[in-house]
Amino acid sequence: MRLHVCAVGRIRKGPERALIDDYLNRFDRIGRALSLGPCTEHEIDDRKARSLSDQAGLLEGALPSAAYVVALDERGETLGSRPFAQMLAARRDSGCSDLAFVIGGADGLDRTLRDQAHARLSLGPMVWPHMLARVMLSEQIYRAATILTGSPYHRD
């Protein structure tokens, strides 16, 4: 199952970019054995779409057809790392070929796009800058793969 991170905003060189690249490269290496990956980023230039509805249109255009869509939203379900890994495995095992995570910009996601998503996921009760949310999601994607392989990276 291919994973996609579709996000508003471009992350330039710096610590966030380095972390995202590191976690997604690690995921791509170990995910193959699990029939997971690669994980591809699709960045939407927020200068081209200022309103939430404009951003939603560009995000929808970045989504693979028939993808299972997970919207990151503060009102979504909060999962621990193990249930998150189990969700990825369940989607893969159900025959899903593409799973896309959607991250809005500083003002979140357009309600229509959020409501059309198959699932909503929260990174916790705190509000995180959308650029850090992408770092945290990338780490959790990698962590999920390590959990599924039984790697000692994740400690309970």
Q: Which of 44, 71, 77 has its CA nearest to residue 58?
A: 44
What is the number of structural domains in the chain?
A: 1
Residue 113: inside a domain: yes
State mean pLDDT over 76-102: 97
Q: Which domain holds residue 56?
A: 2-149
Q: Are strands 2-8 and 98-103 parallel, antiparallel or unpaired?
A: parallel
Any domain includes 155: no
35 within some domain: yes
pLDDT digits (tens, 9 = 90+) for 26-65: 999 999 999 999 999 999 988 888 799 999 999 999 999 9
For residue 106, what pLDDT band results from cuts at 50, 70 and 90? confident
Confirm if 79 and 87 have CB atoms less than 8 A apart.
Answer: yes
Average pLDDT of 74-102? 97
Average pLDDT of the residues in 101-111: 93
Q: What is the CATH number of the domain that holds 70?
A: 3.40.1280.10
Give pLDDT tens digits for 117-126. 999 999 998 8
User: Residue 72: inside a domain, yes or no?
Assistant: yes
pTM of the model: 0.95
The answer to the question of residue 156 being in a domain is: no
Rounded CA separation 15/19 (Å): 6
Share of the chain above pLDDT 70, in %: 100
